[in-house]
Structure 1
Amino acid sequence: MPTQEPKIPGIYLNHIVPTPEPELLTGVPVFLGLANVKAGENRPLKLTLGTQFDQYFSQATEYLGDAVTGFFEQGGHLCYVVAVADNTLDALQQGLEASEILENIDLVCVPDIMVAREAEVVQMQQIVLDHCSRMGDRFAILDGLNDVQKLDKQRQKLTSNNGALYAPWLKIEDITRPKNPKSIPPCGHIAGIYATTDRIVGVHGAPANIALEGVLDLSFSLTPADQAQLNPQIGPSVNCIRSLRGRGMRVWGVRTLSSLPEWQYVNVRRLFLTLGRWANQNLADTVFEPHDFRLWMRLERELSIYCESLWQQGAIQGAVPQEAFYVKCNEETNTPENREMGQIIAEVGLAPTIPGEFIQLLLVQSSSGITLT
């Protein structure tokens, strides 16, 4: 709006307030579980406080409400809840379909799968993983079986680039029986750790080596030998929660359920998923534009600006931006055949920052003693 109405020829100052770009949220889960909505239609409900769960829902099992509470206890700020009527494959599919209207979420948690018969648990978890892969912008946080002897078989039956498996279960206080803690699946607490890491570090930060809040104990202990078996060099892994002397209970793993080496780390996979979400949100207005050199230049420019911001955050590695990423959108990536099909292709390469899982210290023994290098 002009500060004054022009009346004579001259130069006039206009103050223009730019419209802020919509924020791309990460670390926002949707929880699906057995519950009934107290009032209104059954649709995804937005929660910003743990206490809101009891205001909106009456539940048949304890896992869903405790998972939501655990999410907020670990520092989560925003989640959605979708109630399902029963613990069947059809009800799960309907709940996942109902969640598809949510554009802010990037995590999926279904703690009440663990109420099902053991034979159905893996089948339902694979449905969740397939949903995340089909949507292309979501990552599943799954719960291990509450039996150390069954975890290895469970992780071998699950496969996806877009999910991770966590164990053991967590013991928390039961207000109805203070002397008898109850065990719950860990996905809600883990989602809270994802959200806190995203907020403090960024989506490229590894959600691991973080102490769990509000947890009294673990349902069983995992030894280093157990963890070595559950975390093969390549292939689906179980991210173990360990009780470490003097450091509390911590998430001690950051692996996915992927069989591909390039997607074995949770933070690396989520970084690329977030890039795709950013592109869908910020480049949607390029659809139906003339497919010519000007469009190529715009896509290359805007993608490069975003990738450089990732480099500045430390999400991708390189001494200079050219070492950390590249963006290509030209006649090489857009052949005449692609143009005739109405497709425009931009190629983006990132050099993600890989978590340092194994810190090796070299002990050198000599006549003067042992030195650490």
Structure 2
Amino acid sequence: MAQEKTPGVYIKELPAFPNSVVEVPTAVPVFIGYTERAMRGTTNVTNMPIRLTSMAEYMKIFGMGPTPEYTFAVDDAGKITLTAEANSLYNLFNGMRLFFDNGGGPCWIVSIGNYSGDEKAADAFGDKVWAALKKEPEPTMVVIPDSVLMPSEADYKKIWDKAFPHCIAMQNRIAILDVFNGFKPRNSDDGIDVISDEKVGFRQLIEYDNMSYGAAYYPFVNTNLFGPTDVNYLNITKDSRKDLADHITKEFSGAADKVVKAIKAYLDTMNGDDTSDGVVTKTHQALASISETYKQAMLDLMDAMNLQPPSAAMAGVYTRTDNEIGVFKAPANTGIMDVMSPAVSISDEEQQDLNVPLDGKAINAIRSFLGRGVLVWGARTLDGNSQDYRYINVRRTLIMLEQSIATAAESYVFASNDANTWLTVRTMIENFLNNQWKSGALAGATPAEAYQVDVGLGSTMTGNDILDGYMRVSVKVAIVRPAEFIVITFQQKMQTS
């Protein structure tokens, strides 16, 4: 401002309003996994967190999805079996599609490698990734769809042994987990309960100091991401295409020579080296129109490729719920876009152990209901025995309140530690909490029942605190809890007339 030494008119603008608390973003996931490439312009961004807002932006930097391959075989009963080539599977691209289709918005991506076809290694999700993410305060969720593609449960655990403690240490984000082998029922033929097995069950693999910073979902889901035009014989390994060709040949063993000759030409092309789009499309369409064996193989391929872990879709559901209602609303009793059915049907009785286990490691079920479709039917964190942090929305709302208030309070660092500052800080926080109460995030008939803010000498601080440079603020909030169990009591009333 100009000094008042020259005669004239001087204007001084005085602040009319005090500082305010601004609500931090609540639904900004970071996705970690394999991508086709990781190039922004000429810069390799592998292991670097990159912020983006759309699927188009993702494809520009990280490329397209993989081409998964399956081994074709037919058993003695004539049933087709397709076995996935593990090194050709990658979940991140499809997860991003589910995220955006379910209401996702701004997010971060960390590419830890490309579609090399090599065996996946937990070490790729190492310290370099987590060191980079520590520098980014915006992400509020950690999602790793590729973790379920690790060669073993031990590798899966190794990834989360880094990711989950990262969330606990940062205190501003939660982990959304998929169950390893979550496409299997708990009573599968191999005798392994993917949830509670004493050696490789999910609850044995996931054990940390503060389990409220994570939520898990089961089972996997059958999606509609891939349609008839998205699969062809290139999704079958080249070696097993010969077996497919043999079975198609048998299918036409009694046909006219002209037909057999035409079929053989198509099969030779299928087993050949020409993989140009035009040739593949023409051959695929011809075989699909005349061969029941080929048609069934493609349908089975479609089903296999549409099987996806739910974590990325749930990140989208969180975002949609936050945007439509608020972070205080439990992300449950809501549908999942692009999902046709859960991979495993779960009954009310079967969900009891998932939702209220003795060890508190609650797993949220994804279930199908007649007339309502596929719904998220659980809203608990992995700390289900905690009265404070049992519910996902409570944990996430508290993170939002903590981070919002802490960010606003930074402007008072090195301010005079006196009554004027204490009053300003208390008023600032109370105004913010009052707005949260009005929006429905806090429970109580009056503001006094919903929150309480204390700061000052004799209430939250001693004289020594002030001498040592501490300003201590106490904030108490009554966060709304979801109505998880609704009990309706009926009683017949005696007729009176």
Query: Equivalent of 1:168, from 219, 222, 245?
Result: 219
More relative contact order in 1 or in 2 (CA 8 Å, sep 6+)? 2
Residue of structure 1 equivalent to 2:278: none
Query: Equivalent of 2:472, from 345, 350, 354?
Result: 345
The Cα shift of 1:77 comes to: 1.6
Residue of structure 2 equivalent to 1:4: none
Q: 1:34 to 1:87 in 2, by over 3 A?
A: farther
2:111 maps to amino acid: A
Query: Equivalent of 2:132, from 98, 104, 113?
Result: 98
Question: What SS class does the counterpart of residue 124 from structure 1 fall into?
Answer: helix
The Cα shift of 1:8 comes to: 8.0
Query: Equivalent of 1:69, from 83, 89, 97?
Result: 97
Residue of structure 2 equivalent to 1:243: 368
Residues 286-313 of structure 1 show CA distances to partners (whole Å, capped at 9, x for unaligned) of 1122322222222211111111111101
Residue of structure 1 equivalent to 2:170: 135
Highest CA radius of gyration, 1 or 2? 2
Residues 147-192 of structure 1 show CA distances to partners (whole Å, capped at 9, x for unaligned) of 3321234135434121100111111232433732221111111011
For residues 259-274 of structure 1, the aligned pairs below 5 Å read 259-274=385-400
The Cα shift of 1:50 comes to: 1.8
Residues 197-220 of structure 1 show CA distances to partners (whole Å, capped at 9, x for unaligned) of 111111111111111111122211
Deviates more, 1:315-324 or 1:356-365: 356-365
Task: State the percentage of identical aligned residues.
Answer: 27
The Cα shift of 1:17 comes to: 12
Question: What SS class does the counterpart of residue 283 from structure 1 fall into?
Answer: helix
Q: 1:330 to 1:126 in 2, by over 3 A?
A: same
Give the length in aligned residue pairs. Answer: 364
Provide the C-alpha distance between the structure 1 equivalents of 2:161 and 2:460, rounded to a whole number of angstroms. Answer: 35
Residue of structure 2 equivalent to 1:364: 491
The Cα shift of 1:341 comes to: 3.5
Assess if the C-alpha contact under 8 Å between 1:83 and 1:95 holds in 2: no
The Cα shift of 1:338 comes to: 3.0
Assess if the C-alpha contact under 8 Å between 1:82 and 1:98 holds in 2: no
The Cα shift of 1:355 comes to: 0.2
2:365 maps to amino acid: C
Question: What SS class does the counterpart of residue 216 from structure 1 fall into?
Answer: strand
Residue of structure 1 equivalent to 2:202: 154
The Cα shift of 1:339 comes to: 3.0
The Cα shift of 1:80 comes to: 1.1
For residues 46-61 of structure 1, the aligned pairs below 5 Å read 46-58=51-63, 61=89
Deviates more, 1:276-285 or 1:200-209: 276-285
Comparing both structures, which one devotes a greater share of its residues to strand?
A: 1
Question: What SS class does the counterpart of residue 361 from structure 1 fall into?
Answer: coil
Question: What SS class does the counterpart of residue 256 from structure 1 fall into?
Answer: coil
Q: Is it true that 1:333 corresponds to 2:443 in the alignment?
A: no
Residue of structure 2 equivalent to 1:371: none
Question: What SS class does the counterpart of residue 137 from structure 2 fall into?
Answer: coil
Provide the C-alpha distance between the structure 2 equivalents of 1:247 and 1:359, rounded to a whole number of angstroms. Answer: 18
Q: Is it true that 1:212 corresponds to 2:336 in the alignment?
A: yes
Deviates more, 1:102-111 or 1:135-144: 102-111
Q: 1:53 to 1:90 in 2, by over 3 A?
A: closer
Assess if the C-alpha contact under 8 Å between 2:450 and 2:478 holds in 1: yes
Residues 120-151 of structure 1 show CA distances to partners (whole Å, capped at 9, x for unaligned) of 32342243221111001111111123133212
The Cα shift of 1:340 comes to: 3.7
Question: What SS class does the counterpart of residue 263 from structure 1 fall into?
Answer: coil
Provide the C-alpha distance between the structure 1 equivalents of 2:463 and 2:372, rounded to a whole number of angstroms. Answer: 59
Deviates more, 1:333-342 or 1:270-279: 333-342
Residues 220-243 of structure 1 show CA distances to partners (whole Å, capped at 9, x for unaligned) of 111212210111167120010010
TM-score by length of 2: 0.67
2:355 maps to amino acid: N
Assess if the C-alpha contact under 8 Å between 1:84 and 1:92 holds in 2: no
For residues 277-316 of structure 1, the aligned pairs below 5 Å read 277-316=403-442
Assess if the C-alpha contact under 8 Å between 1:37 and 1:83 holds in 2: yes
Q: 1:14 to 1:210 in 2, by over 3 A?
A: same
Residue of structure 2 equivalent to 1:80: 108
Structure 1 gaps of 5+ residues are: 1-6, 369-373
Q: Is it true that 1:30 corresponds to 2:30 in the alignment?
A: yes
For residues 189-208 of structure 1, the aligned pairs below 5 Å read 189-208=313-332
Q: 1:314 to 1:32 in 2, by over 3 A?
A: same
Residue of structure 2 equivalent to 1:41: 44
Q: 1:99 to 1:169 in 2, by over 3 A?
A: same
Q: 1:338 to 1:319 in 2, by over 3 A?
A: same
Q: 1:129 to 1:12 in 2, by over 3 A?
A: closer
Q: 1:215 to 1:65 in 2, by over 3 A?
A: same
Deviates more, 1:75-84 or 1:40-49: 40-49
Comparing both structures, which one devotes a greater share of its residues to helix?
A: 2
Q: 1:213 to 1:23 in 2, by over 3 A?
A: same
Q: 1:233 to 1:298 in 2, by over 3 A?
A: farther
1:111 maps to amino acid: P
Provide the C-alpha distance between the structure 1 equivalents of 2:90 and 2:123, rounded to a whole number of angstroms. Answer: 20
Deviates more, 1:157-166 or 1:92-101: 92-101
Assess if the C-alpha contact under 8 Å between 2:90 and 2:149 holds in 1: no
Provide the C-alpha distance between the structure 1 equivalents of 2:357 and 2:441, rounded to a whole number of angstroms. Answer: 24
Provide the C-alpha distance between the structure 2 equivalents of 1:292 and 1:87, rounded to a whole number of angstroms. Answer: 55
